Structure 1
């Protein structure tokens, strides 16, 4: 299998297995080696006391894109450290898109950047994650 075929297969399997993402209405838009794009529309039950999207929901979208991307090579990887910067409030009904991109790899650790944008293309949050490869394959006997 090509690296793109492996990433596509991992993305489909992740979307099927990720019950939290499914519960929040996340949709897989694109996968690639070290890359993922997920979307989610902010629902009324996702708001905080200010009436805007709860930061934890935005974090979860970015973290999910991170998880899909860092497992896209069919090597089990987990989050070791993450941080997020919220840049603007998000209203109910807003379609959010999280794009995850691999920046650097050193041994079993990799740095990924996730950008969360609204439908107008404005950046609402920036998320950086450090992944750590652990033993095993995401999907045994797939390759990668």
Structure 2
């Protein structure tokens, strides 16, 4: 395990971390990287690549995000947005933005954690190495990792890099009650991704939610000319797994119930959206709705996930 403390204040447009080292988005061996952008008033910056997805959080200021597939939305300090593969995003406004770039089977999230008191976490991943970053929005905090303690002042960040099956305990102690800390997590997965294999493409993800699209081809159909039920369930499980994991830790499906409401007769595509119904300390319950290209509700899926970590 490796722990690094870096400065965010006073840093202009810069790549501040990459794994493997000395790589940038677009390189053949690129896996994950963190960067910063500072925008002057009404300045525009662009994100998007056929091979690289990215996750972003606004550190300060106010911006408008124009997504090539989702349209335009306004974002304020602390809010996050993603740019999936094959999408283009234009960011316009004033302020600073923290970026996480991912390729090569990396799953990544940024979540904002409000802290009223000390928070204990068990971190690490079984399926691959992971990279985590922590920084405060409105104050400093202390981070205890194993036997090491670091003070993370406002304007600095702590990055932890761990190998596969290297688990560790974290204690985050806020300077004051009610402050917020950003938790950035990137996990290096292997190439075994059944959802991606059948064509599931992420459209949008944020803390606890996810939307994905599946463009329908003949291999998705059953002999009577409708989308196969197993294909529908795979789409629901893939989108809900992303939503559950975005809240932190390794999650596994423990129960599900699918209701087929309308037959999907040769749709051009299907869109699935997962939303939380109840989030507990270990049990996370979601509802997934799948609609076709005419906005007909094809099925709903109730899914229950269990978090193997805090």
TM-score range, shorter chain: 0.7 to 0.9
Q: Is 1:122 equivalent to 2:293 in the alignment?
A: no
Is the contact made by 2:267 and 2:292 (CA closer than 8 Å) also made in structure 1? no
Aligned residues: 134
**Cα distance in 1 for residues equivalent to 2:297 and 2:187:** 28
Deviation of the 1:13 alpha carbon: 6.2
What is the TM-score when the length of structure 1 is the normalising length?
Answer: 0.81
> What stretches of structure 1 of length at least 5 have no aligned partner?
137-144
Give unmatched runs, 5+ long, in structure 2.
1-56, 58-77, 81-108, 112-183
More contact order relative to length (CA 8 Å, sep ≥ 6) = 1
Which of 189, 208, 225 aligns to 1:51? It is 225
Write out the 4+ residue segments of structure 1 that deviate beyond 4 Å after TM superposition.
12-18
State which of 110, 119, 122 in structure 2 corresponds to 1:6: 110
Per-residue deviation, 1:21: 1.7
Instruction: Quote the RMSD (CA, aligned, Å).
Output: 2.6
| TM value normalised by structure 2 | 0.40
Displacement of 1:106: 2.6
Partners of 2:287 and 2:224 lie apart in 1 by: 28
* Cα displacement (A) at 1:48: 1.2
1:96 counterpart residue number: 270
CA deviations over 1:86-111 (Å, ceiling 9, x no partner): 11111334210000001102330011
* Whole-angstrom distance in 1 between the partners of 2:223 and 2:208: 36
1:111 and 1:85 map into 2 onto residues whose CA distance is 16
Based on CA coordinates, which of the two structures has the bigger radius of gyration? 2
Following superposition, the deviation at residue 3 of structure 1 comes to: 7.4
| Alpha-carbon distance change, 97 to 6 in structure 1, aligned in 2, over 3 angstroms | same
